[in-house]
Amino acid sequence: MHRAPLIMVCTCEIAGQVRGKAFPASELPARMTSGVGWVPSMTMISALGPTADTPFGLTGELILVPDPATEVQVEFGDDGEPEHFFLGDLRETDGTPWSCCPRDFARRAIAALQHEARLQVLAAFEHEFTYTGIEARGGAAFSLDAFRRQGAFGAMLVAAMTQAGLQPDSFLPEYGPRQFEVTVAPARGLRAADQAVITREMVRATAHRLNSRALLTPAPEPNDTGNGVHVHLSLLGPDGAPALPDPAGRFGLSPAGRSFAAGILDHQAALVALTAPSPVSALRLRPDRIAPTHVYLADRDRGASLRLCPGLQLPGMDPRRQLNLEYRAADATASPYFALGAIVWAGLDGIRRGLDLPPHADVADMDDAARSLAGIPRLPATLDEALDRLEATEAARDWFGPVLFDAYLRHKRAELRMVAELNETALCELYAQLF
Ligand code: GLU
Ligand code: MG
């Protein structure tokens, strides 16, 4: 039987799922302009599937238009169809951006940072996940044996990512049972978020080719280490030179770098509603999981919500280029567009307000209880709390615009209602199916 190749154009909306529509490859030239049809209420489809609440009803008409810069075409060398998809923008039928387009949310943040502060963001999303194609075994953390037993998965993943136009940086067996991590080279602006979507899909696609799954859920089990997404961020000035470092500044950061970091910290409780945005996300952000519980910046501290990653000071290396901020309170149930956009909006708000880092920022040696006693703010304990913080954040109304702000809050609150009766174990099982 002959096969007519299909190409899919996708978006990653509030639910964090990558959804889209496919068309015959022969139609690609026309589809680059006209896209595929979309409906406003599709943005309200929950991660679970049902749409429990929508401000849009059944009305409206949108198009999802592929961005040529995002094309992914990957052959796995087996009998299966190649992966062939684009990421796209949600537009009104006259071609203008739709108010709830996730890529436009990130694009506007990145443009505002460029316009107002003359700074470009350079970012890389680090992904952890659970690979089901290997037995869970004690003592395997970071082990050569866990690396060996994942078989061809890592090598296939790296090949797929490379074909997809990414530059893989590392692949490793992580701390948790069956847990692995993959990192990529950073990219500028929106491309960093596109790369995160593509990375997740290459992880899923590779596992699928091996009749397995990659679970990207933040909490595979209620009481174990979770799968984090860490967003590494640096800033570039108008000349392309690193704009974060300043050896004379506190933490070695420039005034703009400190304000950017302070803005993120100032808004972090609200940001979690976009960066760790599922009912299950909070189960990861608990003590003793190498994940953050409190809001603070620290140098080389993996308990910090914002970690300062130093540059290597080895011959031939420029530590200024390597210095970056690692936002640790994120996971793969977040759309990378909302996550990156929100972080950039918050950082820009810090620059607009000329914020400096809070005095308590250096708390690396304290344990969790001591941090609370010292008045270090806690990350929200639930998504419910994070959404309330987001709703109370006046500045965020401007970042989103009224339609998206309302849609976002309603979407996530409806998701919370859907899982309200589940205990932690059932919640973990459900999100392991969904992500
Ligand atoms: N698994 C941890 C998390 O949930 C992170 C471990 C690490 O620092 O790589 O964020
Ligand atoms: Mg890790």
CA–CA separation, 329 and 202 (whole Å): 23
130 pLDDT above the threshold of 90: yes
Task: Name the residue of 225, 300, 305, 306 whose CB sits within 8 Å of the most ligand 1 atoms, as the mutation to test its pocket.
Answer: 225
Query: Average of pLDDT values for 312-334?
Result: 88
Q: What is the pLDDT of residue 319?
A: 75
Q: What is the pLDDT of residue 359?
A: 81
Q: What is the pLDDT of residue 182?
A: 98
Q: Is the CB of 220 under 6 A from ligand 1?
A: no
pLDDT digits (tens, 9 = 90+) for 386-401: 999 999 999 999 999 9
Task: Identify the DSSP state of 95.
Answer: S
pLDDT digits (tens, 9 = 90+) for 348-383: 999 999 999 988 655 767 888 888 888 899 999 999
Q: How many CA atoms lie within 13 A of 373 on its CB side?
A: 5
Nearest ligand 1 atom, CA 284:
4
Q: Is the CB of 291 under 6 A from ligand 1?
A: yes
Query: Average of pLDDT values for 419-432?
Result: 98
156 pLDDT above the threshold of 70: yes
Q: Is the CB of 228 under 6 A from ligand 1?
A: yes
Q: Is the CB of 267 under 6 A from ligand 1?
A: no
Q: Phi and psi for 378 in degrees, rounded to 5? A: -85, 150
Q: What is the pLDDT of residue 361?
A: 52
> Residues, the chain, total?
435
Cβ proximity of 163 and 178 under 8 Å: no
Query: If you measure from the C-alpha of residue 176 to the centroid of ligand 1, how many angstroms do you get, rounded to a whole number?
Result: 9
Query: Average of pLDDT values for 216-234?
Result: 96
Q: What is the pLDDT of residue 55?
A: 95
Share of the chain above pLDDT 70, in %: 99
Query: Average of pLDDT values for 136-142?
Result: 90
Q: Phi and psi for 414 in degrees, rounded to 5? A: -65, -40
Query: If you measure from the C-alpha of residue 175 to the centroid of ligand 2, how many angstroms do you get, rounded to a whole number?
Result: 8
Q: Which residues of 370-405 are buried (b: 16+ CB within 10 A; e: fewer)?
A: ebeeeebbbbbeebbbbbbbbbebebbeebbeeebb
Ligand number nearest to the C-alpha of 285: 1
Task: Name the residue of 289, 293, 331, 428 whose CB sits within 8 Å of the most ligand 1 atoms, as the mutation to test its pocket.
Answer: 289
- Helix, strand, coil: what percent of the chain each, to 5? 40, 20, 40
Nearest ligand 1 atom, CA 328:
10
Q: What is the pLDDT of residue 368?
A: 83
Query: Average of pLDDT values for 118-123?
Result: 98
Nearest ligand 1 atom, CA 181:
9
Beta-ladder partners of 38: 62
Q: How far apart are the first and last CA of the chain?
A: 33
Query: Average of pLDDT values for 19-46?
Result: 97
Measuring from atom 10 of ligand 1, which residue has the nearest CA? Answer: 228
Nearest ligand 1 atom, CA 176:
1
Count helices and strands in the chain by DSSP H and E runs? 14, 15
Q: What is the pLDDT of residue 71?
A: 98
Q: Is the CB of 226 under 6 A from ligand 1?
A: yes
Q: What is the pLDDT of residue 432?
A: 98
Query: Average of pLDDT values for 154-163?
Result: 98
Region for residue 77 given its phi and psi (left: phi exceeds 0; alpha: psi -120 to 50; beta: otherwise): left
Q: What is the pLDDT of residue 364?
A: 66
Q: Which two tokens stand for residue 113?
A: 């940072």
Q: What is the pLDDT of residue 362?
A: 59
Nearest ligand 1 atom, CA 179:
1
Query: If you measure from the C-alpha of residue 402 to the centroid of ligand 1, how many angstroms do you get, rounded to a whole number?
Result: 35
Query: Average of pLDDT values for 209-224?
Result: 96
CA–CA separation, 216 and 218 (whole Å): 6
CA–CA separation, 17 and 278 (whole Å): 12
CA–CA separation, 222 and 303 (whole Å): 19
Q: How many CB atoms lie within 10 A of CB 24?
A: 11
Q: What is the pLDDT of residue 365?
A: 73
Region for residue 7 given its phi and psi (left: phi exceeds 0; alpha: psi -120 to 50; beta: otherwise): beta
144 pLDDT above the threshold of 70: yes
Query: Average of pLDDT values for 77-104?
Result: 96
pTM for the structure as a whole: 0.97
Q: Is the CB of 126 under 6 A from ligand 1?
A: no
Mean of per-residue pLDDT scores for the chain: 95
61 pLDDT above the threshold of 70: yes
Q: Which amino acid is at 393?
A: T
Task: Identify the DSSP state of 9.
Answer: E
CA–CA separation, 86 and 10 (whole Å): 6
Query: Average of pLDDT values for 93-100?
Result: 97
Identify the sign of the CA torsion 261, 264, 266, 269: negative
Between the alpha carbon of residue 354 and those of residues 185, 261, 405, the distances in Å are 30, 11, 25
